[in-house]
Amino acid sequence: MTALIVGDDGLARCAWVGDDAEYRRYHDEEWGHPLRDDQRLFEKLCLEGFQAGLSWITILRKRPAFREAFRGFDVDAVAAMSEADVETLLGNPRIVRHRGKIQATISNARVTRELGESLTELMWGFAPNDPARPQPREFSEIPAVTSESTALSTALRARGYRFVGPTTMYALMQSAGMVDDHLAGCHRAGRPDGER
């Protein structure tokens, strides 16, 4: 696979975008932008868990339905969901209907509610601090797991979070801008463009 593609707008992008308009928007406007908002990080944590074993584009296309089903990923509202809500969600064809992932989302909301600290502070405490790190040039240079994602996974599991393995946490670190894995030459590489 070619590392970069050039869109009809003349901009070079990471080739995983392909020719999908929603993927291009996500790549340009979200992926790799620093995200320091507890509710949005909670949503990302949940959606990355749902993504395990699936493609991200599947989750991205279902994200509006997930937001509706999980009450905007408001931590208190999700934490209050019951077993009856789980059964309702299992019947919702617009989301990924996986009992374990649905139950983990509710359980993770309860853990988040009782954290006693900001989810943002907790998660960003594991972001690597390596300003000299060069942009990857090829997909093969991007790891699936790092020592930081493993440490974040361990810390979250110790607090009771589920579906937060090291690979899932590295994907979250990429998407939440804790690391910049836009490939060298991509118009987004090295440009966090502010925090969200």
Print burial letters for 6-19: b (CB count within 10 Å at least 16), e (below 16).
Answer: eeeeeebbbebbee
Residue type, 73: F
48 carries an active-site annotation: yes
Torsion of the alpha carbons at 193, 178, 141 and 61, rounded to the nearest 10: -80
Residue type, 101: K
| Catalytic residue chosen out of the listed positions 31, 43, 48, 148 | 48
Angle between helices 99-113 and 83-90 (to 10 degrees): 140
Sequence-ordered alpha helix ranges (H) in 35-142: 38-51, 56-69, 75-79, 83-90, 99-113, 119-124
Write out the catalytic residue numbers.
Answer: 26, 48, 56
